[in-house]
Amino acid sequence: MVKERLNELPDELIVTILSKLPTFKESVATRLISRRYEDPWNLAQDVTLKDNDEESFMTFLYGSLLSNDAPALERLRLKLTRKHSASDIEFWVQTAVNRNVRKLRFDLLPCGTLELPSCLRTCTTLKSLILRGVLMESVPSGFRLPSLRSLHLFSVNFSIGDSVANLLKICPHLEYLVLNDTRYDVDHVDDEFAPLRFCLSSLKSLHLCSVIFSGNNSVTRLLRSCPVLETLVINQTKCAYKMFEVVFPPRSCLSSLKTLHLLSVNFSSDESVVKLLENCKALENLVITRTRDDNVWLFNITVPTLKSLSISNAKVKRADAPGFVINAPSLERLNIKDTVSNFLMFGYMPEVTTANIEAVCDQSENFVGSLTFMQHLSLCSPTTKTPYTSGTVFFFLEHLELCTCSARWAKLLGSILNDAPRLQSIKLKSKCSAPFKRPMELWTEPTVAPECLLKHLEILEWREYDGTEQERKVAAYILGNATCLKMATFSTRCGDKCTELKKMSRVSELCQLVFE
């Protein structure tokens, strides 16, 4: 009703009224208002406002005020590079609140001061709040964000006497929290079992990225306040803080944790890793990226409930050559890239169906041979031995991707052809940017054609085919013995290599050659 009456006023009077509002520029206001009947307000539901773009600001503000049917606002992002008064920010946010805003983001660079707009106390539609480059003023007593479900803090600082904890206390229904490059201060309490000042009883996902904690037990106290946490991601790439130095309380939130990412996390010892994982009674997904100074020699992963494991340990080799022991009998998916360790021990893992392995370890008896039930295998193994014991049979293996960077890839391929009787597809590709500089071990044809070639192999894909003597022999053998082959795809830079391949004998009459 108020908007209809405002629209009925003369344009000159509307301009006079709007001149009392923030971000007013008469020439822009006059132009926008004068054509409001010819070009009705086209109000977007996802709005980004920059303080160096006055027209976008005024279109949003005046359109929201004058439009009779302004749609609900899905997201408002304020990118402010200049200093603005708290009353101006309050007005802009109030305009968004009037349109039932769901997501609100502040980018105040470089590090602008922000006082939480009071209109947010009564906003029942706000679900997500993102703060970047913000210096937070003290949170007013009694302030609440009752409907907030997601909170992201990027490079957020707090005024003296205030902290992240005070902000979290006003979000009683928070489900998703990200702290990035932000300091987390708590009361000076050394006892990790001391009573908690607040409880994030609904929080299910917590991401800690380069966060500095005050005190030895700060991480434990934060996690104790999250009794139903399901996802925890810790990425300390930019921070040398030792994340876990104490034993977790028996009733910690980790008992409900299903997904855990430990990315460049520093521990106090090998034992702290073991104790951390012991508390994760329901863990299903684990991602680990090791760092040079993580203070762990042997990474022992013993998690009976684990279904997916991803490991990256490929950056810097250390003198003590750390390694992994993996005991996960329920594991279904394994992804490991470890070009550093000289010790890898896999327990019996009969449920693994998909494995992506790039490792230099020579522990043949405890390596790939533990994964005899897998169906998909991607393997890069520049070792001097076949990475499984003689007599191992991969009866369920149907899809093989083999890296051709090592000196003995052809011999390894021959072994797998003999030991995987149901293999249906092969992909040959160099996954490494720099091949290992060792003398090439020549291909030796199997004395008897493998069962997979005679009965099952249907697809051959060869990336970066160069047509060397070794590669020609392998290609000729597969084409000449794969009786069920339907398609053979070769990616090569040289046209004459295609001619050579076309001349090779193909035992399968259905085989189609494809060149890329």
Q: How far is residue 422's CA from residue 435's CA, in Å, rounded to a whole number? A: 30
What's the confidence (pLDDT) of residue 243?
Answer: 64
Count of Cβ atoms closer than 10 Å to residue 60 Cβ: 23
**Site of tokens 């890239």:** 337
Instruction: Tell me the residue type at 514.
Output: V
What's the confidence (pLDDT) of residue 39?
Answer: 47
Q: Is the pLDDT of residue 231 over 70?
A: yes
Is 319 part of a structural domain of the chain? Answer: yes
More confident site: 40 or 140: 140
The percentage of residues in the chain with a pLDDT greater than 70, rounded to a whole number, is 77
What's the confidence (pLDDT) of residue 508?
Answer: 94
What's the confidence (pLDDT) of residue 104?
Answer: 96
Q: Is the pLDDT of residue 103 over 80?
A: yes
Q: How far is residue 290's CA from residue 102's CA, in Å, rounded to a whole number? A: 38
Let me know if 135 is exposed, middle or buried by CB neighbors in 10 A (0-12, 13-18, 19+): middle
More confident site: 473 or 253: 473
More confident site: 346 or 75: 75
Averaged pLDDT, 435-449 = 72
Q: How far is residue 162's CA from residue 315's CA, in Å, rounded to a whole number? A: 39
* 3-class secondary structure, 152: strand
Nearest 10 degrees: Cα torsion 342, 348, 354, 355? 10
Averaged pLDDT, 436-462 = 84
- Lowest-confidence region among 77-81, 380-384, 403-407: 380-384
**Site of tokens 């009998």:** 329
Buried b (16+ CB within 10 A) or exposed e, 85-116: eeeebbbbbebbbebebbbbbbbbeeebebeb
Is 511 part of a structural domain of the chain? Answer: no
Angle between helices 54-66 and 26-34 (to 10 degrees): 50
Q: Is the pLDDT of residue 92 over 90?
A: no
Q: How far is residue 35's CA from residue 43's CA, in Å, rounded to a whole number? A: 15
CATH of the domain at 246: 3.80.10
**Site of tokens 């101006």:** 88
Is 325 part of a structural domain of the chain? Answer: yes
DSSP secondary-structure letter at 195?
Answer: P
pLDDT for 159-178, tens place per residue?
A: 776 778 888 989 999 999 99
Is 82 part of a structural domain of the chain? Answer: no
Confidence band, pLDDT 50/70/90 cuts, at residue 313 = confident
Confidence band, pLDDT 50/70/90 cuts, at residue 48 = confident
Residues contacting residue 137 through CB under 8 Å, at least 6 positions apart: 113, 114, 115, 116, 159, 162
Averaged pLDDT, 400-420 = 91
- Lowest-confidence region among 190-204, 216-230, 410-424: 190-204
Confidence band, pLDDT 50/70/90 cuts, at residue 130 = very high
Q: Is the pLDDT of residue 296 over 70?
A: yes
Q: How far is residue 277's CA from residue 299's CA, in Å, rounded to a whole number? A: 11
- Residue 204: give the domain boundaries: 175-337
Q: Is the pLDDT of residue 213 over 50?
A: yes
Averaged pLDDT, 206-234 = 83
Let me know if 185 is exposed, middle or buried by CB neighbors in 10 A (0-12, 13-18, 19+): middle
Q: Is the pLDDT of residue 24 over 50?
A: no
What's the confidence (pLDDT) of residue 11?
Answer: 53
- Lowest-confidence region among 137-141, 283-287, 374-378: 137-141
Averaged pLDDT, 292-306 = 89
How many structural domains are present in the chain?
Answer: 1
Confidence band, pLDDT 50/70/90 cuts, at residue 480 = very high
Instruction: Tell me the residue type at 45.
Output: Q
Is 193 part of a structural domain of the chain? Answer: yes
Averaged pLDDT, 372-400 = 87
Is 75 part of a structural domain of the chain? Answer: no
Residue 232 near residue 259, CB atoms below 8 Å: yes
What's the confidence (pLDDT) of residue 320?
Answer: 61
More confident site: 55 or 447: 447
**Chain center to CA of 410:** 35
> Phi-psi bin for 376: left (phi > 0), alpha (psi -120 to 50), beta?
beta
pLDDT for 333-369, tens place per residue?
A: 999 988 887 778 888 889 999 999 888 765 555 567 7
The percentage of residues in the chain with a pLDDT greater than 90, rounded to a whole number, is 38
Let me know if 368 is exposed, middle or buried by CB neighbors in 10 A (0-12, 13-18, 19+): buried
Cα angle for residues 132, 200, 146 (degrees, 5° grid): 70
Confidence band, pLDDT 50/70/90 cuts, at residue 143 = confident
Count of alpha carbons within 13 Å of 188, Cβ hemisphere only? 1
User: How many residues are there in the chain?
Assistant: 516
Averaged pLDDT, 27-37 = 53
Q: What is the pTM of this model?
A: 0.85
Residues contacting residue 234 through CB under 8 Å, at least 6 positions apart: 208, 209, 243, 261, 262, 263, 265
Most confident segment among 94-103, 184-193, 280-289, 400-409? 280-289
Averaged pLDDT, 106-115 = 85
Per the prediction, the chain carries an average pLDDT of 82
Is 275 part of a structural domain of the chain? Answer: yes
What's the confidence (pLDDT) of residue 334?
Answer: 95
Secondary structure in 3-state letters for 201-251: CCCCEEEEECCEECCCCHHHHHHHCCCCCCEEEEECCCCCCEEECCCCCCC
Is 257 part of a structural domain of the chain? Answer: yes
Confidence band, pLDDT 50/70/90 cuts, at residue 196 = low
* 3-class secondary structure, 164: helix
Most confident segment among 163-172, 188-197, 237-246, 469-478? 469-478
